[in-house]
Amino acid sequence: MSDKYKRFEIFGIYNPISIGIKEINEIGTSLDSLEEYLNKIQSLDVYYAAPIVYKINDNLVGIYAISENIPSVVPLKPYIVLNQIEGISEWYVMLKEGKTVKYDDFINNIDTSRYYDDNHVIVTLSEKEIDNLLNKYFSQL
């Protein structure tokens, strides 16, 4: 059978949280552990990047915005919560002065080692890192 558990979303006080096997192992069956986990993750001083969807030339485009030196929670794979909007053809990250890079170029060229939850990482980009991404991957929408 190919039904493998992947993750599920909890809609927390501040932002959705992706619960995977790692989180389930940490929480177990204790409501106290669930409370501690939710408090810990929702108390972090981070910006939770949420996409905005635009219609550009009859295509739907999803864009996340990231600023320099701000710890930002970004998904490993871009998505819209609960698939409320379907048919997004391209995903981008706006980094500076309206300049964007494709999401895959962004996520494949940043440090993704700071774990947030099953589908998100915390990234903090310096001005130099942003400039390097833009110099290498700038995409005009």
Residue 115 in 3-state DSSP?
strand
Mind spelling out the 3-state secondary structure of 52-99? EEEEECCEEEEEEECCCCCCEEEECCCCCHHHCCCCEEEEEEEEECCE
Does 3 map to a domain? no
Spatial separation of the C-alpha atoms in residues 51 and 140, rounded to whole Å = 18
- Dihedral of CA 37/108/123/9: which sign? negative
Spatial separation of the C-alpha atoms in residues 92 and 100, rounded to whole Å = 6
Per cent of the chain over pLDDT 90 is 69
CB atoms inside a 10 Å sphere around CB 113: 8
What is the pLDDT, as a whole number, of residue 5?
A: 63
The predicted model gives 56-78 an average pLDDT of 95
Does 22 map to a domain? no
Per cent of the chain over pLDDT 70 is 92
If one counts the domains in the chain, the total is 1
Does 102 map to a domain? yes
Instruction: State pLDDT tens for residues 2-60.
Output: 566 667 777 766 788 899 999 999 999 998 999 899 999 989 999 999 999 999 989 99
Does 25 map to a domain? no
Does 99 map to a domain? yes
Structure confidence at residue 1 as a pLDDT band (50, 70, 90): very low
Phi/psi of residue 16, nearest 5 degrees: -65, 150
Does 32 map to a domain? no
Does 117 map to a domain? yes
Spatial separation of the C-alpha atoms in residues 111 and 108, rounded to whole Å = 8
Does 6 map to a domain? no
Residue 135 belongs to domain spanning: 46-139
